[in-house]
Amino acid sequence: MLAPLHRPASCSLTRRWTHYRNMQFLFRVLSRWPLWLLHWIGGGLGWLAYALSPSYRRRFRANAAQAGLPWSAVRPAVAQAGRMAAELPWLWMRPHDADLGARARVEGADCVDAAHRAGRGLIFLTPHLGCFEVTAQVYAERFGERYGALTALYRPPRKAALRDLVDTARHRPGLKTAPATLAGVRQMIRALKAGEAVGLLPDQVPPEGMGVWAPFFGKPAYTMTLAARLAHQTGAHIVLAWGERLPRGAGYVVRFSPLEEAVPHEAESAAACINRAMERLILQCPGQYLWGYHRYKNPRTAPADGVLA
């Protein structure tokens, strides 16, 4: 009987490295394209995905209907989803000395300054609205030198080559990343206790046991408890942030605002409070929310390595 053939580990590593180099080359080429062109192409890709995927289309419409919004209000979000993907090479791979500058206007900077003057850390909550990647970069450029780096919680992509690319691309001056693991949470706690800022996407569905069910546009959605726990444990201020994508590649408007409600200590009430805040942000610009995101799905089982989000 023949023994099963096993692919040498060196072959897997070589293939992974080749994929990484190919993707890095592609992203670097695209990063040199003008933003208006990337957004134009992305808009077409967004409509193509909407047309070719019945399940995505149904989920998009069902989520928008759950929020009580007419098609006319959310129709632009079809193209915006494609633009979100197309702008990533420009955001991730442009040279570190190429600041966003005039490409990103900031509203609510006084809210950030006031929170930092209080001497405690900041927790930025950003939903899947507009360009959420740009909010962290704007904070790093405008506030990082004064108040320290921003640590963003993220879930590493499953594909190894893409994971390597994201790890490389997101390490920019004034920015740190924390994996969505217990070690990453400890890293965020240390940053908050040092008076620095952290960033979370609170409308991302966490694994089972890492959240609670709370209303989101009137329907139960599994919601992370991490943001509220960090705030109560460290005394950090919560600030809402989102980046509006301007037409024709003109750039972005990043808006900061304080959380209007005090976050309760009880987990379900805290999650509902944060969901209400996300709803208010989304209704400011429903044409740029990621309505195709599977917000109401059942949580997956948490793996043994303690991944949180």
CATH number, residue 77: 3.40.1130
Contact 286, 74 (CB under 8 A): yes
CB under 8 Å, gap of 24 or more: what pairs does 45-49 form?
A: 45/82, 45/85, 45/86, 46/78, 46/79, 46/80, 46/81, 46/82, 46/83, 47/78, 47/79, 47/82, 48/82, 49/81, 49/82
| Count: domains in the chain | 1
Q: Look at residue 156 and tell me if it is in a domain.
A: yes
> What's the CA gap between 186 and 83, in Å, rounded?
34
pLDDT digits (tens, 9 = 90+) for 256-267: 999 999 999 999
Q: CB neighbours of 263 closer than 8 A, spacing ≥ 6?
A: 228, 231, 232, 238, 270, 273, 274
Q: Is residue 298 part of a domain?
A: no
In a domain, 296, yes or no: no
222-268 pLDDT, tens digit per residue, is 999 999 999 999 999 999 999 999 999 999 999 999 999 999 999 99
pLDDT digits (tens, 9 = 90+) for 7-25: 555 666 677 667 767 778 8
Rounded Cα distance between 174 and 99, Å, is 12
Residue 113 located in a structural domain: yes
Q: Are 96 and 173 in contact (CB under 8 A)?
A: yes
Q: Is residue 297 part of a domain?
A: no
Q: What is the mean pLDDT of the chain?
A: 89
Residue 191: inside a domain: yes
Q: Please state the separation of Cα 127 from the chain's center in Å.
A: 7
**pLDDT the model gives residue 304:** 47
Average pLDDT value for residue range 85-104: 84
Domain that holds residue 71: 17-288
